[in-house]
Structures are given as structure tokens and as C-alpha cells.
Structure 1
Amino acid sequence: MTRARRSMDWGFPRWRPYGSSQEATNVRICDRHGCDEPGNCPAPKAPNSPERWYFCQKHAAEYNSKWDYFEGLDKAEKEERANAERQESSGYTESAHYGWAGSGDGSRSADEMRALEVLGLEADADFNAVKKAYRNRAKEVHPDVKPGDANAAKQFQLIQTSYEVLRAAEERREWRG
């Protein structure tokens, strides 16, 4: 005669976490062909569609990498929408000085990133590198070096504006402490 085993769900303390059971659980597999990872990340199959793909984290990141939030809008609408969202989230940017932010870790604005791109620098460049790049680029296209060249004058103005944006950002960082 065999004895029935006693359940571990009686009394206190509980020997298993609440909500756990001994039944098999269904695990949804990633919808990407050939992937055997659990598909925990839902992604829409089409805009405004209730149907979803279920990807693992790696394939969800791949799926979202080409996502364009402003797709289908013309340039003016994109700018208007981006400005509206920037205004809505301005309260969060005001609190950025509480973080341990440094250059290259997402603490630079989009304008600063464009300015660094104009000067040919990486996102983590310090201000000494900015000064050096500004001087070198300005010497190449300065109106005194290339008189009468409208394209060089335009480039010089762009370089100057980029430097001013980065200088102002550096001063703000120093002021915040």
C-alpha cells in the first residue's frame, strides 16, 4: 500500500512562492524563424493593428531599430511634433543635473551631437578636443584663406555656429557644477 504524499501548500510558512504550481507552463517561442528563445516582447504586425509578433529581446531590438516615429509626416509636421514632445518632456531635462552624467553617455542634446558631427568628432569628445578641431577646421575654410569662395564662407559659418553651441553647453555644465 502506497502512501499519498502531503501537499506543500498547507500551513505556514509556505515552502514555495505564492502563485507557483507544479503544472507545466506554456512558453511562447520567438516568432523569428529559427530562434528558440522565449518570445516575451510583443510588437505590432502593422500600425494600428491588434495583431502582434512575439520576439525575444534580441529580435525585438532588431525589429525596433529601424522604427521611425515620424514616418509619413512632412518636414514641417515632423519639426512641430518633435518640438511639442520636447516641451512635454522639458521637466525631465531640467532634472538632468541630478544624474552622474558625462559626455558620451546620452547627456548631450541633439544640437550638440550635430555640432560634434560638423567638427568631425565623436560623441565622447571633451572640450579641449572641440577647441582643437574648431581651430583646425576654421583654418581650412576661413574667408581670409579662401577669399571669394561662397561655399567656404558657408562652411566657416557652420563651423563657428557649431563651436558656439558646444561652448555654451560646456559653460552650462561648468555652471551646474
Structure 2
Amino acid sequence: MARSKRSVDWGFPRWRGYEAGREAQTVRLCDRHGCEEPGDCPAPKSPNSPERWYFCQAHAAEYNKGWDYFAGLDKEEAAARAASENSTNAGYQQSAHYGWTGSGDGSRSKDEINALDVLDLEYDVDFATIKKAWRNKAKVVHPDVKPGDEEAAKEFHKLQLAYEVLRAAEERRTWQGYPEG
């Protein structure tokens, strides 16, 4: 009877060696000076550059914490890049109508933060403070107070838009059952 030519390694685990040699494998060390850990986490040296640093996990986390995605861009370019990023990620915004999944930590959206910056307010203020600050600022630049002043009209329009964003956000919060304040 002829002997079969089947292999003795039946998949995983292999019963034979992977390689014939037993020489040491080279391991790339972390690029941070003085670190002896393996550098297996690539990090870009500069935006849009193919060159990479290779850090260990601890130094990669430290590097990423200080990374500014919009470094070197002026305000318009940064806004354009943010808009293009949001347009590709718009599918994630579709689930925003599930209000019960709110964070509950009082965090605000980017639009709300921008509106609070227009009103020169902190990010954790209640709506009564927002309304009071809006009224005080709007009284100064209202078109009835300063008729014919284009700068005042633009400032009033900006304040009005900021208030509308914050009012709509407050209505969403109270409609979803979140406590006021």
C-alpha cells in the first residue's frame, strides 16, 4: 500500500517551524530619544507628508494629544477643510434625531460654542444668562438705536443669529426632557 503525501501540519497550530533560520528579528525602536520600547505606531511628521515617526503607544498618545489638524492653515482654509470633512461624515449626523442618546454631560455643539463666543459667554451658562447678554448687546447695536450704521446692522444680525442657534438648542434640550440649567 502506498503511503500518502499529506502534510503533518493541519492548519493552525503549525507543527513545523515557520522558517528554517533562527536568527534574531530586527525591531524598530521608538523614535523618541531614550525610549527602548518597540516603535509600532506611525505618526506623521507634518500635515500631508508621507514621512512618519514611529512611536511606542505611550509616546504616540502624547504626540497625538498635541496634534493640531488645522496647523498652518488660515481661517478660510481651515473652515473649508472642516466643511469637507463634515460633508464626508454627514452620514453620522443622520442619527441625531435619536434624542435619548444625548451625552448628558452638558456639552454643546460647535455652532452653540461659536454662538456663545459671539455673545462673549462661557460655555456652561444657563439660558437666562444667554438671553440677558443677548438683550444687553442687541440694545447697543439695534438698527433703531443706530439708524444707517452698516457695521451696527451687521453686528445686530450676527447677535440675532447667535441667539437663534442657542434658543433652538435650548428648545431641543427642554423638548427631550433634559432639565433646564
TM bucket, shorter chain: 0.5 to 0.7
Flag structure 1 segments of 5+ consecutive residues without an equivalent: 1-25
**Residue correspondences, number:** 145
Instruction: Report how far residue 170 of structure 1 moved.
Output: 0.5
- Partners of 2:78 and 2:52 in 1: CA distance: 30
* 2:101 maps to amino acid: Y
Instruction: Report how far residue 91 of structure 1 moved.
Output: 3.7
**Structure 2 SS opposite 1:146:** coil
Match of 2:100 among 93, 97, 100: 97
Superposed CA deviations along residues 137-176 of structure 1, whole A, max 9, x for unmatched, are 1111112222221110111111111111110111011111
Q: Does 1:137 align with 2:120?
A: no
CA contact under 8 A between 1:41 and 1:60: conserved in structure 2? no
Q: Does 1:112 align with 2:117?
A: no
Judging changes above 3 Å, is the alpha-carbon distance between structure 1 residues 99 and 156 closer, same or farther for their aligned structure 2 residues?
A: closer
Flag structure 2 segments of 5+ consecutive residues without an equivalent: 1-26
**Structure 1 SS opposite 2:50:** coil
Superposed CA deviations along residues 12-55 of structure 1, whole A, max 9, x for unmatched, are xxxxxxxxxxxxxx7944x344x658567431235363743316
CA contact under 8 A between 1:40 and 1:54: conserved in structure 2? yes
Q: 2:65 maps to which residue?
A: 61
Q: 2:23 maps to which residue?
A: none
- Partners of 2:118 and 2:151 in 1: CA distance: 15
Q: 1:159 maps to which residue?
A: 159
CA RMSD of aligned residues (A): 3.5
Instruction: Report how far residue 68 of structure 1 moved.
Output: 2.8
* 1:60 maps to amino acid: N
Judging changes above 3 Å, is the alpha-carbon distance between structure 1 residues 118 and 58 closer, same or farther for their aligned structure 2 residues?
A: same
CA contact under 8 A between 1:115 and 1:163: conserved in structure 2? yes
TM-score (norm 1): 0.64
TM-score (norm 2): 0.63
- Partners of 1:157 and 1:85 in 2: CA distance: 30
- Partners of 2:28 and 2:99 in 1: CA distance: 40
* 1:146 maps to amino acid: K
- Partners of 2:139 and 2:95 in 1: CA distance: 39
Q: 1:6 maps to which residue?
A: none
**Structure 2 SS opposite 1:89:** helix
Judging changes above 3 Å, is the alpha-carbon distance between structure 1 residues 95 and 40 closer, same or farther for their aligned structure 2 residues?
A: farther
* 2:70 maps to amino acid: D
How is 1:75-86 mapped onto 2 (pairs within 5 angstroms)? 78=81, 81-86=84-89
Judging changes above 3 Å, is the alpha-carbon distance between structure 1 residues 37 and 99 closer, same or farther for their aligned structure 2 residues?
A: farther
